[in-house]
Structure 1
Amino acid sequence: MEPPQRATQRWALGLEYRGTAFCGWQRQVAQPSVQRALELALSQIAQTETTVIAAGRTDTGVHASLQVVHFDTTAAREPTAWVRGGNQFLPDDVAIRWAAPVDEQFHARFAARSRRYVYLLTSAPQRPGLHAGRVGWTHWPLDLARIEAALPALWGTHDFTSFRAAECQAKSPVKTIHSAVVQQRGAVLRFDFHADAFLHHMIRNIVGALVYIGSGRQPSGWLRELIAQRDRKLAAPTFAPDGLYLAGIEYDREHQLPEQFVDPCL
């Protein structure tokens, strides 16, 4: 007589990671990815192969102060086993922040109502050393007032083709940005973007345009013109991934996840 099958439980995890050493979130052949590192660690705890699904795929060199994933397992484990045990098997630049049981209707990607990204940018004559890989950098002096004047052009629902990567697989370039703000924090400019979803390279392309505006190479109204023109070739080059952080995923309160946003302060 065979032993009874254990019921499948769906779990959500909150992660943080430094993306510098990875090819990005998504598992790829013969390249280190965050997804593969996490799956190997969880498989050790579950004692069976475990596959995870993330709220969003981050690119090579992009970080996360809060990425959310889910996975299904028949392994009966306490939340602390997934967190402490999983972290024991993860590389130093990836950590599980929390684990929470969720119902089978929860989906890390499709249940997400919105996402927040933060971009940290420093302007100095010399490149950063202490924070290399963790902040974007430009040698051009930037005028905060010029950047602040440009940002309202992003608010609302627009066709963001001018900021869309050629390899973007999104069905539509139309997205809704709930807010886009910038703050000066010491030597760092902190950009906070909150939207229903983002296109591939969308934030890095927007930051590239804002650097042109802040440095005086283009007027503040240029951002609005680019949106209207819907032509990627007319915009600034894609900016570095170094300062980009996936910082929050918004879900309905019924899912009762411990966190929805984590500020990636240095």
Structure 2
Amino acid sequence: MSDEVEPGFVRVRLDLSYDGRDFSGWAKQKQGQRTVQGEIESALRTVTRSQETYELTVAGRTDSGVHARGQVAHVDLPESVWAEHSDKLLRRLAGRLPHDVRVWKVAEAPAGFNARFAAVWRRYAYRVTDHPGGVDPLLRGHVLWHDWELDLDAMNAAAEGLVGEHDFAAYCKKREGATTIRTLQQLHWVRRDDGILEATVRADAFCHNMVRSLVGAMLFVGDGHRPVEWPAKVLAAGVRDSAVHVVRPHGLTLEEVGYPADELLAARSKEARNKRTLPGAGCC
């Protein structure tokens, strides 16, 4: 599959954010639920006065209820449409989009750019409070309340056993034909000055429910229900464990997507399409 743009079209990069509470995830749904992709594509069609819907490709397809601060997408627009609307597109989108989704930047993408396949990492944050009084009402849509006191050091010790390239089948909802091998580059917790615990989770890519499952396992360690070694043992078993709780989506935010230098974009896109196996594992 090539990342070359069709003749007569321009690839446009969009940087955006959204509050996921009232969305049924990023991707368009056949049932007609409200989605981020659907809202942006509809707005693009309206502000460019186009009969056709130009489909977006996104860096990370977030689930229902998950937020994004640093999401990236691309869309291929006819050259004539881009030439006519490029200088006014951002302001017009701001006037057309609902208040829970914003596009912050619209620019012609460099050669070889693909919002999904050219990305080298995605960074999420998960926020939780163990305050006995619950969650600040002003933060209730973005912070999970855990009603047991959490041991930050134990959670970070558990996280160390999960970092690296592994088969995360134990922490993912399996999808037909898709690999669950991922490289978890960073997994670390801090307690902020306001008492909220914040996990930084960065990987080359994530499989379905992976971050929320990892967080669920570490919360069980933090509140003393499981030993520090337990999340790594679950990982090594390689199968879904009913004891791993998938935490609620509202504490999760996609914070940032990383891309290589422009001259490496095409090579990265090609590499990302290769199905991965672990050393010693059978092919495909």
Both structures adopt the same fold (TM-score exceeding 0.5) = yes
- Give the aligned residue type for 1:229: A
1:77/1:67 Cα in 2 relative to 1: closer, same or farther (>3 Å)?
A: farther
Counterpart selection for 2:198 from 190, 193, 201: 190
Counterpart selection for 2:179 from 166, 172, 177: 172
**2:179 alignment partner, SS class:** coil
Contact 2:234-2:241 at 8 Å conserved across structures: no
Whole-angstrom CA distance in 2 between matches of 1:127 and 1:213: 20
**1:100 alignment partner, SS class:** strand
Whole-angstrom CA distance in 2 between matches of 1:99 and 1:92: 18
Whole-angstrom CA distance in 1 between matches of 2:138 and 2:69: 19
Partner of 1:245: 253
When structure 1 is superposed on structure 2, of 21-30 and 99-108 the one drifting more is 99-108
Contact 1:114-1:249 at 8 Å conserved across structures: yes
When structure 1 is superposed on structure 2, of 64-73 and 98-107 the one drifting more is 98-107
Contact 2:188-2:201 at 8 Å conserved across structures: yes
Residues 33-90 of structure 1 deviation map (CA, whole Å, 9 limit, x = unaligned): 0000000111122211322111111001000001101001121246552221111111
Whole-angstrom CA distance in 2 between matches of 1:236 and 1:51: 36
Contact 2:48-2:85 at 8 Å conserved across structures: no
1:72/1:217 Cα in 2 relative to 1: closer, same or farther (>3 Å)?
A: same
Structure 1 residues 41-52: aligned runs within 5 Å: 41-48=43-50, 49-52=53-56
**1:38 alignment partner, SS class:** helix
**1:105 alignment partner, SS class:** coil
Cα shift at 1:239: 0.5
The alignment of Structure 1 onto Structure 2 pairs a total of residues equal to 251
Counterpart selection for 1:143 from 136, 151, 161: 151
With normalisation by structure 2, the TM-score equals: 0.83
**2:214 alignment partner, SS class:** helix
Any gaps of 5 or more consecutive residues in structure 1?
1-5, 258-266
Contact 1:165-1:200 at 8 Å conserved across structures: yes
Whole-angstrom CA distance in 1 between matches of 2:173 and 2:87: 40
**1:218 alignment partner, SS class:** coil
Whole-angstrom CA distance in 2 between matches of 1:196 and 1:112: 8
Any gaps of 5 or more consecutive residues in structure 2?
1-6, 266-284
With normalisation by structure 1, the TM-score equals: 0.89
Whole-angstrom CA distance in 1 between matches of 2:46 and 2:155: 48
Partner of 1:15: 16
Partner of 1:263: none
Whole-angstrom CA distance in 2 between matches of 1:207 and 1:45: 40
User: Are 2:213 and 1:199 aligned?
Assistant: no
Contact 2:57-2:115 at 8 Å conserved across structures: yes
**2:250 alignment partner, SS class:** coil
Whole-angstrom CA distance in 2 between matches of 1:87 and 1:250: 25
Counterpart selection for 2:141 from 116, 133, 142: 133
Cα shift at 1:104: 5.3
Partner of 2:164: 156
